[in-house]
């Protein structure tokens, strides 16, 4: 921490300026990740942390890794996260109340101890150590230097890692694969079932939602010729999510009909 | 500027990630916190690479990224599978280990 | 001289035993015949070998046969070899001869028993084990037979093990024999440790060089072994209970096998005892005590078999006494053993015959006047009776008289004490055997109406008759020109004449013995002929009689000295086991369960609490590194 304070007083180099602006933001975003309720927000904050890190990589003469970080992490991995979030419910927010007694305090105490000790150790280990810099290593360019290493010294780990990647891809496919337990119903069968189900109304197909009735929205029921709303006009998915509006309020001549009934 | 600052940042982010793994219940958020920890470690590697003046650290960071990608793929697949059967993405609901 | 035939002595009955045990129920028809044939064939082989021995000069009569190399470890070499010498052949002929007669007798005696085939298998096993005992050329080979005899006796005494008391009797015999067996195994170990060999020849060679202490130790251990097997004081208690077995078994145990093993052991080990005077002294003391003990117990027994058992104990005491007297006595011990083999087997078979005719009643007070109903049994039993009390010219007179004479001539106060004990024992023997005769065969009938006394079939009385002839003639034959003494000379050290001054001239000793015997008979006659015999044992008797009826408190003493402390020890060990060891074991278990149920609370099944623990662990590791690199 003393170093940190001393650093602040030093002449600001461009890198230092970059660091002191972005690092607190990254930390703040990371802490924000833990405190926001919605998973989507967490994902966006994480994406921000990753972009920050990518910038830091580039700042540290690791241009290739910086680009890969953006492409692989913010691009691919975070997309995957968002995709899955959509699958499992995009807006399912989570209560931040701790349910396991004492866990939060244990976690915070342990993490403060862990982080403090780690930083103290780092300070002890790095004090008085000069940075060698990557000017020599990157003399032929960062990508060339990495390529040189990957295809010479690290060719074996590289192959193993590639095998791992393939295995993971296959594994994900196996896990995601859904074994069909009943025979798939063909369109022909669905059509036959519709016509044989008794009422011709069913055979004619469900009405469309009330897009053109009162509201320009899919969660509003259509109105039948007698003015009553048709709940069956709303997509089953929306119904399942509970995103359907109460159809009663859209009924025309609500009171008249009630009087006639009486 | 002192490269060690990146290491301090890395340690902080790692710790925050670890806390997130413990206190968040949504499996996807937990996963993201794990990613945060991996990224923090990567930052350390990159910084070490710079301090030591060779590219080995960057290579390791590169490999870590690949491993992280694999892990995300498999992990998310698992989450989807669990969600499919339990209709929940909370890690507390999947406590079958207790019984 | 070697002979390949010796092994057949053992192999034939052993094989027959195996066949009978394994062949199952379909052998029931011919099993007893095979058993008898096996025993008889063994006797035939023995007799043939005996004639071969007779054809050889004295020094070359011993025969050996090496079967195979048994143990070959470093300097320790034991061959499974058989030794047939002048001593062994006496036993071989006795065992197989009397054994065969008992087999024949058993065919009829056990004819109603469903398990007769198994009985004959055990009898053959008994014969084989006893033959191995007397034919082994080393203590280790002897030990195998020794244990085999123990096993066979256990099986036979407990033959009717459906009765718990009989099973207990078998167990008692086995356990008390184990005490003796321990002595024998210790003797073998001491001999091996000090002399490096366990063969008779090797030890005989090494004995003069060994220290007296070692030899005394071996001698005492051998004495314990002999006491166990031969029912000598203080290991005599099993013999009376061993009457639980069928009567032929009693005859076999008491006459031909088992109890004679102790006498054989001491006689065979003469080279040890001759060099260890202390052990030898103990032998005579044990013999003298037992001969009086058995005789006293015999005076109060109403059970005919137990009375005979007590008499066996007493007669074996005579043999042990003689064997303990050293070179002068060995031959007489063996002679008495052989004559005793005839008359005791005869009497046991006679007792069996009586029981056979009396619905297995053993209480002599329920007999009486059987002379008219079973004349052959009466005559054969009577001849045995005359032999055992030592009336000339019957067999017992010669052998017992020799022992008394030798005891008296042992020298000094020892001789007088031993001689008086032997004489007194002879008087007691006369008393209780006369009592048995009077109660059983004379007087008035005291049996119930259900009993229909009748003479036994020929298969039963024929062996009795043969044995009775032996009881009459054997003593006379053995002493013709000191035949047996000279026969045994190569094995036991020669009889040195004139070394001891004779306390009394032989004729006086004989006269004295006969007088005492007559006194014993007259007392018995006065007590049981002149006065009516109650058919229930009177209760208002002196304390001494009561004690004698309880076998001189032998069981009480055993229980007080060994059983009760043993039980107390076991109980305390059980308590320690339950409280301390089980406590510790259960404590460990309870501790594991307790700590488990506590630790279980940390296993919530929540991934997050596990990850919190990982975090705490990581913090602890960092703290450790932090402290170490301080």
Q: Are A39 and A94 in contact (CB under 8 A)?
A: yes
Choose, out of B95, B96, B99, the residue to mutate when testing the contact with C (most C CBs < 10 Å): B95
Phi, psi of C520 (to 5 degrees): -60, -45
Residue A259: pLDDT above 50?
no
With CB atoms and an 8 Å threshold, state whether B83 touches A87.
yes
A144 in reach of chain B (CB within 8 A): no
Range 38-97 of B in CB contact (< 8 A) with C? 91-92, 94-97
With CB atoms and an 8 Å threshold, state whether B98 touches C605.
yes
| For range C446-462, the mean pLDDT | 76
Among the listed residues C333, C332, C117, C382, the one whose alpha carbon sits nearest the alpha carbon of residue C226: C333
B19 contact residues in C (CB cutoff 8 A): 615
Please give the Cα distance from C517 to C498 (Å, whole number): 28
Range 85-114 of A in CB contact (< 8 A) with C? 100, 103, 106-107, 110-111, 113-114
Q: What integer pLDDT is reported at residue B58 of this predicted model? A: 92
With CB atoms and an 8 Å threshold, state whether C612 touches B92.
no
Please give the Cα distance from C533 to C369 (Å, whole number): 12
DSSP C66: E
B22 contact residues in C (CB cutoff 8 A): 608, 611-612, 615
A119 in reach of chain C (CB within 8 A): no
Q: Count how many Cα atoms sit within 13 Å of the Cα of residue A228 in the half-sphere of its side chain.
A: 7
| For range C571-590, the mean pLDDT | 85
C7 falls in which pLDDT band (50, 70, 90)?
A: confident
Please give the Cα distance from C170 to C155 (Å, whole number): 7
C606 contact residues in A (CB cutoff 8 A): 100
C608 contact residues in A (CB cutoff 8 A): 100, 103
Buried b (16+ CB within 10 A) or exposed e, C169-205: bbbbbbebbebbbebbbbbbebbbebbebbbbebbee
DSSP, collapsed to helix, strand or coil, labels residue A85 as helix
CA angle A224, A230, A236 (to 5 degrees): 145
- Minimal Cα–Cα distance from B90 to chain C, Å? 10
Please give the Cα distance from C407 to C416 (Å, whole number): 8
Q: What integer pLDDT is reported at residue A211 of this predicted model? A: 56
Q: Are B53 and A137 in contact (CB under 8 A)?
A: yes
pTM of this prediction?
Answer: 0.60
Please give the Cα distance from C328 to C273 (Å, whole number): 13
Nearest beta carbon to residue A103 from set C608, C619, C629: C608
Which helix (H) or strand (E) segment is B5 a member of? helix B4-23
ω into C202 cis (within 30 of 0): no
- Higher-confidence residue of B2 and C155: namely C155
Nearest beta carbon to residue B95 from set C605, C611, C615: C605
Please give the Cα distance from C586 to C584 (Å, whole number): 6
- Higher-confidence residue of B39 and C421: namely B39
Please state, as a whole number, how many other Cβ atoms lie within 10 Å of the Cβ of residue A195.
11
3-class secondary structure for A96-133? CCCCCCCHHHHHHHHHHHHHHHHHHHHHHHHCCCCCCC
Q: What integer pLDDT is reported at residue A212 of this predicted model? A: 54
Phi, psi of C372 (to 5 degrees): -75, -30
C57 falls in which pLDDT band (50, 70, 90)?
A: confident
Q: What integer pLDDT is reported at residue A262 of this predicted model? A: 43
DSSP letters, chain A, are -HHHHHHHHSPPPHHHHHHHHHHHHHHHHHHHHHH-SSHHHHHHHHHHHHHHHHHHHHHTT-HHHHHHIIIIIIIIIHHHHHHHHHHH-TT--------STTHHHHHHHHHHHHHHHHHHHHHHHHTTPPP--STTTTTT-HHHHHHHHHTTTTHHHHHHHHHHHHHHHHHHHHHH-----SPPPPHHHHHHHHHTSS-HHHHT-PPPPGGGTT-S-TTSPEEPTTS-EEGGGS-HHHHHHT-PPPGGGG-TTHHHHHHHH-
Percent share of chain C, pLDDT over 70: 94
Please give the Cα distance from A119 to A113 (Å, whole number): 10
pLDDT digits 0-9 by tens, C498-523: 445 566 777 777 888 888 888 888 88
| For range C90-107, the mean pLDDT | 87
B6 contact residues in A (CB cutoff 8 A): 19, 56, 60
Q: What is the mean pLDDT of chain C?
A: 82
Please give the Cα distance from C465 to C475 (Å, whole number): 17
Neighbouring chains of B at 3+ CB pairs within 8 Å? Answer: A, C
Nearest beta carbon to residue C609 from set A103, A111, A118: A103
- Minimal Cα–Cα distance from A191 to chain B, Å? 29
Residue whose structure tokens are 């005791």? C344
Q: Count how many Cα atoms sit within 13 Å of the Cα of residue A16 in the half-sphere of its side chain.
A: 13
Q: Are A219 and A245 in contact (CB under 8 A)?
A: yes
Q: Are A81 and B32 in contact (CB under 8 A)?
A: yes
Which helix (H) or strand (E) segment is C117 a member of? helix C116-135
Please give the Cα distance from B35 to A53 (Å, whole number): 12
Q: Which two tokens stand for residue C21?
A: 């045990």
Whole-number Cα distances in Å, A96 to A108, B20, C119, C497: 15, 12, 89, 119
Percent share of chain C, pLDDT over 90: 1
With CB atoms and an 8 Å threshold, state whether A118 touches C622.
yes
DSSP A228: -
A147 in reach of chain C (CB within 8 A): no
B6 in reach of chain A (CB within 8 A): yes
A55 contact residues in B (CB cutoff 8 A): none
Query: Environment class of residue C91 by beta-carbon count within 10 Å: exposed (0-12), middle (13-18) or buried (19+)?
Result: buried
A126 contact residues in C (CB cutoff 8 A): none
Helix axes C395-408 and C458-478, enclosed angle (nearest 10): 40
With CB atoms and an 8 Å threshold, state whether C612 touches A118.
no
pLDDT digits 0-9 by tens, A146-183: 998 899 989 999 999 999 999 999 998 888 777 778 88
- Minimal Cα–Cα distance from B99 to chain A, Å? 17
- Which residues share a beta bridge with C71? C78
DSSP, collapsed to helix, strand or coil, labels residue C500 as coil
Residue C383: pLDDT above 60?
yes
- Minimal Cα–Cα distance from B21 to chain C, Å? 7
A97 contact residues in C (CB cutoff 8 A): none
With CB atoms and an 8 Å threshold, state whether A34 touches B52.
no
With CB atoms and an 8 Å threshold, state whether C615 touches A110.
yes
3-class secondary structure for B12-65? HHHHHHHHHHHHCCEHHHHHHHHHHHHHHHHHHHHHHHHHHCCCHHHHHHHHHH
Q: Which two tokens stand for residue C507?
A: 């004729």
Q: Count how many Cα atoms sit within 13 Å of the Cα of residue C356 in the half-sphere of its side chain.
A: 27
Residue whose structure tokens are 């059967």? B85
Please give the Cα distance from A76 to A44 (Å, whole number): 14
Q: Which two tokens stand for residue C40?
A: 């008889």
With CB atoms and an 8 Å threshold, state whether B77 touches A175.
yes
Q: Are C130 and C256 in contact (CB under 8 A)?
A: yes
| For range A115-120, the mean pLDDT | 89
Q: What integer pLDDT is reported at residue A49 of this predicted model? A: 94
Choose, out of C606, C622, C625, the residue to mutate when testing the contact with B (most B CBs < 10 Å): C606
Please give the Cα distance from A186 to A189 (Å, whole number): 5
B19 contact residues in A (CB cutoff 8 A): 34, 107-108, 111
Q: Are C422 and C409 in contact (CB under 8 A)?
A: no
Q: What integer pLDDT is reported at residue C254 of this predicted model? A: 80
| For range C230-240, the mean pLDDT | 79
Q: ipTM value of the model?
A: 0.92
Q: Which of C313-327, C482-496, C529-543 has the highest mean pLDDT?
A: C313-327
| For range C20-31, the mean pLDDT | 81
Query: Where do the domains of chain C lie?
Result: 575-629
| For range C349-365, the mean pLDDT | 80
pLDDT digits 0-9 by tens, C315-340: 888 888 888 887 778 888 888 888 88
Choose, out of B10, B13, B31, the residue to mutate when testing the contact with A (most A CBs < 10 Å): B13
Among the listed residues C273, C177, C175, the one whose alpha carbon sits nearest the alpha carbon of residue C224: C177
Residue whose structure tokens are 């596990």? C610
Helix axes A39-59 and A14-35, enclosed angle (nearest 10): 160
C608 in reach of chain B (CB within 8 A): yes
- Range in A111-120, C175-184, C556-565 the model is least confident about: C556-565
Please give the Cα distance from C365 to C346 (Å, whole number): 21
Residue A53: pLDDT above 90?
yes
Q: Are B16 and C599 in contact (CB under 8 A)?
A: no
| For range C451-477, the mean pLDDT | 80
pLDDT digits 0-9 by tens, C537-561: 666 667 677 776 666 666 677 777 7
Q: Which two tokens stand for residue A208?
A: 């469309």
With CB atoms and an 8 Å threshold, state whether C626 touches A117.
yes
Q: What integer pLDDT is reported at residue C178 of this predicted model? A: 85
Q: Which two tokens stand for residue C242?
A: 């061993």
- Size of chain C in residues: 630
DSSP, collapsed to helix, strand or coil, labels residue A253 as coil
Buried b (16+ CB within 10 A) or exposed e, A20-29: eebbeebbeb
With CB atoms and an 8 Å threshold, state whether C604 touches A117.
no
pLDDT digits 0-9 by tens, A188-241: 988 888 788 777 766 766 667 665 555 667 777 777 777 777 777 777 777 777
Nearest beta carbon to residue A110 from set C609, C612, C629: C612
| For range C46-66, the mean pLDDT | 82
Please give the Cα distance from C546 to C14 (Å, whole number): 45
| For range C149-171, the mean pLDDT | 84
| For range C389-403, the mean pLDDT | 81
Nearest beta carbon to residue A117 from set C609, C615, C623: C623
CA angle C524, C529, C535 (to 5 degrees): 100
């Amino acid at each position: 921490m003393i170093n940190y304070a001393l650093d602040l007083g030093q002449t600001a180099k461009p890198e230092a300026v970059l660091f002191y602006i972005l690092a607190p933001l990254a930390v703040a975003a990371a802490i924000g990740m833990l405190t926001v309720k919605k998973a989507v927000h967490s994902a966006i904050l994480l994406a921000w942390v990753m972009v920050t890190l990518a910038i830091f990589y580039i700042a540290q003469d690791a241009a290739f890794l910086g680009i890969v970080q953006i492409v692989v992490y913010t691009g691919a991995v975070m997309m995957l996260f968002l995709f899955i979030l959509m699958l499992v419910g995009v807006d399912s927010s989570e209560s931040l109340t701790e349910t396991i007694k004492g866990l939060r305090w244990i976690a915070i105490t342990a993490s403060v101890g862990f982080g403090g000790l780690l930083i103290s150790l780092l300070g002890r280990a790095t004090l008085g150590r000069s940075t060698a810099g990557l000017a020599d290593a990157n003399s032929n360019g960062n990508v060339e230097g990495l390529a040189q290493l990957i295809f010479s010294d690290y060719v074996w780990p590289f192959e193993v890692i590639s095998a791992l990647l393939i295995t993971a891809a296959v594994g994900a496919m196996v896990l995601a694969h859904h074994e069909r337990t009943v025979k798939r119903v063909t369109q022909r069968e669905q059509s036959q079932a519709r016509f044989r189900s008794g009422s011709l109304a069913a055979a004619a197909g469900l009405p469309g939602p009330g897009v053109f009735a009162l509201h320009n929205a899919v969660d509003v029921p259509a109105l039948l010729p007698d003015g009553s709303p048709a709940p069956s006009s709303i997509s089953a998915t929306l119904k399942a999510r509970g995103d359907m509006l109460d159809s009663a309020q859209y009924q025309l001549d609500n009171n008249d009909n009630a009087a006639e009934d009486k | 500027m002192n490269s060690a600052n990146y290491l301090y940042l890395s340690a902080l982010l790692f710790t925050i990630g670890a806390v997130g793994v413990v206190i968040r219940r949504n499996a996807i958020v937990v996963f993201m916190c794990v990613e945060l920890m991996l990224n923090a470690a990567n930052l350390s590697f990159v910084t070490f690479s710079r301090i030591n003046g060779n590219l080995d650290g960057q290579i390791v960071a590169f490999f870590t990224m690949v491993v992280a990608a694999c892990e995300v793929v498999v992990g998310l697949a698992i989450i989807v599978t669990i969600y499919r059967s339990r209709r929940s993405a909370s890690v507390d609901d999947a406590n079958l280990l207790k019984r | 001289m070697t002979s390949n035939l010796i092994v057949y002595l053992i192999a034939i009955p052993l094989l027959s035993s195996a066949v009978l045990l394994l062949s199952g129920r379909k052998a029931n028809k011919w099993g007893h015949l095979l058993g008898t044939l096996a025993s008889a064939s063994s006797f035939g082989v023995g007799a043939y070998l005996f004639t071969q021995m007779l054809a050889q000069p004295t020094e070359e009569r011993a025969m050996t046969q090496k079967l195979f190399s048994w143990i070959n470890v470093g300097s320790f070499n034991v061959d499974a070899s058989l030794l047939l010498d002048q001593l062994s052949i006496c036993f071989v002929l006795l065992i197989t001869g009397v054994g065969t007669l008992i087999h024949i007798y058993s065919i009829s005696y056990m004819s109603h028993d469903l398990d007769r085939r198994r009985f004959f298998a055990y009898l053959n096993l008994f014969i084989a084990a006893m033959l191995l005992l007397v034919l082994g050329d080393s203590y280790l080979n002897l030990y195998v037979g020794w244990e085999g005899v123990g096993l066979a006796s256990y099986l036979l005494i407990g033959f009717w093990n459906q009765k718990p008391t009989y099973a207990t009797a078998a167990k008692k015999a086995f356990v008390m024999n184990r005490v003796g067996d321990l002595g024998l195994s210790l003797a073998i170990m001491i001999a091996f440790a000090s002399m490096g060999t366990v063969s008779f020849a090797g030890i005989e060679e090494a004995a003069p060089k060994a220290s007296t202490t070692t030899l005394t130790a071996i001698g005492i251990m051998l004495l314990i072994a002999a006491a166990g097997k031969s029912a000598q004081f203080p290991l005599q208690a099993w013999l009376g209970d061993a009457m639980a077995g069928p009567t032929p078994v009693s005859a076999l145990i008491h006459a031909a096998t088992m109890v004679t093993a102790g006498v054989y052991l001491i006689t065979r080990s003469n080279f040890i005892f001759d060099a260890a005077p202390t052990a030898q002294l103990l032998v005579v003391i044990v013999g003298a005590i037992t001969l009086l003990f058995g005789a006293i117990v015999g005076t109060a027994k109403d059970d005919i078999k137990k009375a005979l058992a007590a008499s066996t104990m007493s007669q074996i005491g005579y043999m042990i006494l003689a064997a303990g007297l050293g070179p002068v006595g060995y031959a007489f011990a063996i002679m008495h053993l052989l004559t005793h083999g005839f008359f005791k087997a005869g009497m046991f078979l006679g007792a069996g015959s009586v029981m056979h005719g009396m619905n297995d009643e053993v209480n002599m007070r329920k007999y009486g006047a059987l002379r008219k109903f079973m004349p052959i049994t009466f005559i054969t039993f009577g001849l045995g009776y005359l032999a055992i009390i030592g009336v000339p010219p019957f067999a017992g007179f010669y052998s017992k008289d020799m022992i008394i004479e030798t005891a008296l001539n042992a020298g000094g106060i020892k001789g007088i004490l031993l001689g008086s004990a032997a004489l007194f024992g002879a008087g007691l023997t006369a008393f209780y055997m006369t009592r048995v005769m009077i109660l059983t065969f004379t007087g008035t009938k005291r049996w119930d109406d259900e009993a229909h006394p009748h003479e036994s079939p020929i298969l039963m009385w024929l062996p009795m008759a043969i044995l009775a002839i032996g009881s009459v003639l054997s003593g006379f034959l053995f002493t013709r020109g000191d035949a047996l003494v000279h026969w045994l000379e190569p094995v036991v050290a020669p009889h040195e004449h004139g070394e001891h001054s004779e306390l009394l001239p032989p004729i006086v000793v004989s006269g004295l013995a006969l007088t005492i015997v007559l006194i014993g008979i007259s007392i018995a006659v006065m007590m049981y002929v002149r006065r009516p015999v109650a058919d229930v044992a009177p209760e208002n008797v002196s304390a001494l009689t009561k004690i004698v009826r309880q076998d001189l408190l032998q069981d009480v003493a055993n229980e007080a000295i060994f059983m009760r402390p043993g039980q107390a020890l076991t109980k305390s060990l059980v308590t320690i086991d339950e409280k301390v060891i089980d406590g510790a074991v259960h404590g460990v278990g309870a501790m594991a369960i307790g700590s488990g149920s506590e630790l279980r609370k940390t296993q919530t099944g929540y991934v997050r609490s596990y990850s919190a623990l990982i975090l705490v662990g990581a913090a602890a590791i960092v703290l450790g590194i932090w402290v170490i690199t301080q």
